[in-house]
């Protein structure tokens, strides 16, 4: 079967890497694991051996058919669907427990998939995902570093992220042009702890990270916040007016958001 580059079909051929991805999910006996893009089953095979059951979400019809023929449906349920339309909440309700998620993602739609998982966080406890190395660097970056930005802060608001290992293009068939990194995301949303409201704070983050080169003050002004209110809230949060959002730890941004909300 020829590969479809548009669907990000670079299949993992490093068996040890596949086993490491599955091991990074922790004890999955008795758990339902959703696999995003099972492809030719490099990871699915090892998941099926260890998980209570697997829900394998594959967009490609031919691959989905081949997977159905290969696995016992009681162990691996193949769902032929775009993962961006997959209902994680319904799957968790059916499983009766939070889901674990694994996937060597189709790189062209990495960000939408990560945002979809964030939005489905109540149904999830751990995800182990392979992405392009540069994306993993952004996801796991710390404030004040070159790679830190909106994607980093958004994902880190939904839990902790850590890089596990990196693979060269030769671990895949056909080899992609980029290196790939596996990271683990433990879902533990921080809204309550930081005293912020999810939708409002996410909107605020998009505003203050809108122009990476601009200061926080200028991004706030561009978003329509009155200069006096912006200056007063920055001062109350102990943030220098010349700082950019990317240099401020999320605790400081939460303080700033609360100050601005009080002034509304």
Q: How far is the CB of 65 from ligand SAM (least distance, A)?
A: 12
- Applying CB under 6 A, among 32, 34, 46, 58 the residue interacting with ligand SAM is 58
Are 143 and 250 within 8 A, CB to CB? Answer: yes
75: closest CA among 54, 92, 60, 89? 54
**Which residues are bridge partners to 55 per DSSP?**
34, 77
Is residue 181 at the binding interface for ligand SAM, with CB under 6 A as the rule?
A: no
Residues 97-126 that bind ligand SAM (CB under 6 A): 104, 106, 109
- Please tell me the count of residues contacting ligand SAM according to CB under 6 A: 23
Q: How far is the CB of 261 from ligand SAM (least distance, A)?
A: 37
Q: How far is the CB of 71 from ligand SAM (least distance, A)?
A: 14
- Tracing tokens 């993993």 back to the chain, one arrives at 136
Is residue 243 at the binding interface for ligand SAM, with CB under 6 A as the rule?
A: no
Is residue 63 at the binding interface for ligand SAM, with CB under 6 A as the rule?
A: yes
Distant-in-sequence, close-in-space partners of 185: CB < 8 Å, separation ≥ 6: 117, 126, 127, 128, 129, 139, 155, 158, 159, 160, 161
Distant-in-sequence, close-in-space partners of 68: CB < 8 Å, separation ≥ 6: 78
List the x/- string, 5-34, binding to ligand SAM by CB under 6 A.
--xxxxxx----------------------
CA distance 98 to 154: 21
CA distance 79 to 33: 13
Choices 4-12, 132-140, 206-214, 216-224; region in contact with ligand SAM by CB under 6 A = 4-12
What are the residues binding ligand SAM (CB under 6 A)? 7-12, 37-40, 42-43, 57-60, 63, 82-84, 104, 106, 109
């Amino acid at each position: 079967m020829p590969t479809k580059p548009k669907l990000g079909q670079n299949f993992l051929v490093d068996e040890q890497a596949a086993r490491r991805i599955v091991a990074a999910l922790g004890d999955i006996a008795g758990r339902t694991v959703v696999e995003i893009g099972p492809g030719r089953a490099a990871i699915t095979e090892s998941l099926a051996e260890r998980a209570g059951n697997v829900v394998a979400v594959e967009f490609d019809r031919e691959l989905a058919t081949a997977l159905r023929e290969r696995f016992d449906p009681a162990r691996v349920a193949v769902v032929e669907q775009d993962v961006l339309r997959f209902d994680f909440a319904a799957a968790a309700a059916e499983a009766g427990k939070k889901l674990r998620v694994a996937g060597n993602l189709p790189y062209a739609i990495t960000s939408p998939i990560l945002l979809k998982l964030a939005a489905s966080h109540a149904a999830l406890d751990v995800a182990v995902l392979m992405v392009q190395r540069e994306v993993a660097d952004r996801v796991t970056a710390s404030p004040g570093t070159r790679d830190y930005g909106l994607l980093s802060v958004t994902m880190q608001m939904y839990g902790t992220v850590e890089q596990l290992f990196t693979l060269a293009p030769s671990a895949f068939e056909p080899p992609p042009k980029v290196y790939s990194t596996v990271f683990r995301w433990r879902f533990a949303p921080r809204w309550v702890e930081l005293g912020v409201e999810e939708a409002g704070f996410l909107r605020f983050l998009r505003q203050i990270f809108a122009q990476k080169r601009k200061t926080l003050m200028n991004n706030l002004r561009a978003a329509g916040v009155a200069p006096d209110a912006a200056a007063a809230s920055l001062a109350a949060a102990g943030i220098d007016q010349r700082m950019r959002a990317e240099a401020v730890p999320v605790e400081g941004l939460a303080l700033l958001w609360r100050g601005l909300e009080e002034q509304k």
